Structure formats: C-alpha cells, structure tokens
Amino acid sequence: MWRRWEAVVSLTPKAFVPGEQLEDFTAAVDAHQPELTITTSDDCIVLTGKLIVSGPKGPFDSYEILVGVPPAFPWQEPAVFETGDRVPRTADRHVFESHGNCCLGVWEEWLLRSRDHSASAFLQGPLHDYFLSQSWYEAKGEWPFGDRSHGALGVLEAFCEILGVALSHELALSLIHI
C-alpha cells in the first residue's frame, strides 16, 4: 500500500526548461528513433517523420507521424498524429475522431505506473507501444496489451485497476453520470 502513495508523491512536476527538454528529446530521438526530425514551434517540441516499430528480432514496421510535445511534458500528454493515412480515424482503432490524434492510453496511468517519465521513456513506451499495437492489430485482429473502454469509462477502469478497486456497473454509472 505504501508504494502507491510513494508513486503519487514522487510526481512533483519540475519547472519547464525549454533547452533542457529539447536536449532530452534530441538525445532520445538520436538513440531510439533516428528517422524522426525535431523542430520547435512556439514553446512546443515537434517530432515528424518515420517512427520505426521494433520487436525482439529488430525493426519490422514503420509509421509516418507528427508529435507535438507541450512545455508541461510529462505532466501534459503530447499530441500524436499518424500522418500516413494508415490507421483508420475511428475510436475502435484508438484515434480521437474529433481531432484525429492518437489515444496512447490513459496518460495518468503511465505517469503513476512508470518510474521514468523522460523523453526516452515516452519514445520507447507509450509512443512505440501504440504503433506496435496498431501493427499487431492489423496482423492479428486483437490488441496485444488488452483494450480499455473509450472515454471516461476507460479512465475509470485504469484508476480502479491501479487502486485495486473492483469496478461495478453501479460505480461506473455513479461516477461517469451516463
């Protein structure tokens, strides 16, 4: 039980330092996704180009992407877009239909479960895993890491799992106000 609270307490945001964050993302891209290009726009870091999807035997797929990293990263989720028109723009493929950005999962769940919130951890974790999942789904018709409900119910499922609380239909209805 104590570990859960340690994780929450350790989530104290550090101040945004543009140069520092840019250096972190530049190093992470160079090390893990060298086919991406880094630029800046206003106060955001922008990643564009080819994201390479790898498995135990090495690279096996790629996607054209655009990522906008906000100055409040990691406390604010980056906006990720698949720009090659390969992933259908539907909720069932984990793309927000209203804006076309990818749903990488419940961002707060990653913040609570991961000890490392660096640029490198983002590139190798949520970003890579999203596209790995898309490739797997194309090949197998199922999601390799499971599948949460969409919207508020998915967020509720994530928090219940983290807290070890069973999610009943009644609890979901009372908290989401459906």
What total number of domains does the chain contain? 2
Looking at the fold, whether 45 and 80 belong to one and the same domain comes out as yes
Looking at the fold, whether 108 and 166 belong to one and the same domain comes out as no
Looking at the fold, whether 136 and 162 belong to one and the same domain comes out as no
Average pLDDT over residues 87-104: 95
Which domain, by its residues, includes 99? 2-145
CATH of the domain at 123: 3.10.110.10
CA dihedral 92, 96, 98, 100 (to 10 degrees): -110
Looking at the fold, whether 94 and 160 belong to one and the same domain comes out as no
Average pLDDT over residues 108-118: 95
Looking at the fold, whether 164 and 106 belong to one and the same domain comes out as no
Chain centroid to CA 44: 17
Distance from first CA to last CA of the chain, Å, rounded? 31
Looking at the fold, whether 127 and 164 belong to one and the same domain comes out as no
Residue predicted with more confidence, 1 or 71: 71
List pLDDT tens digits, range 17-49. Answer: 568 899 999 999 999 999 999 999 888 999 999
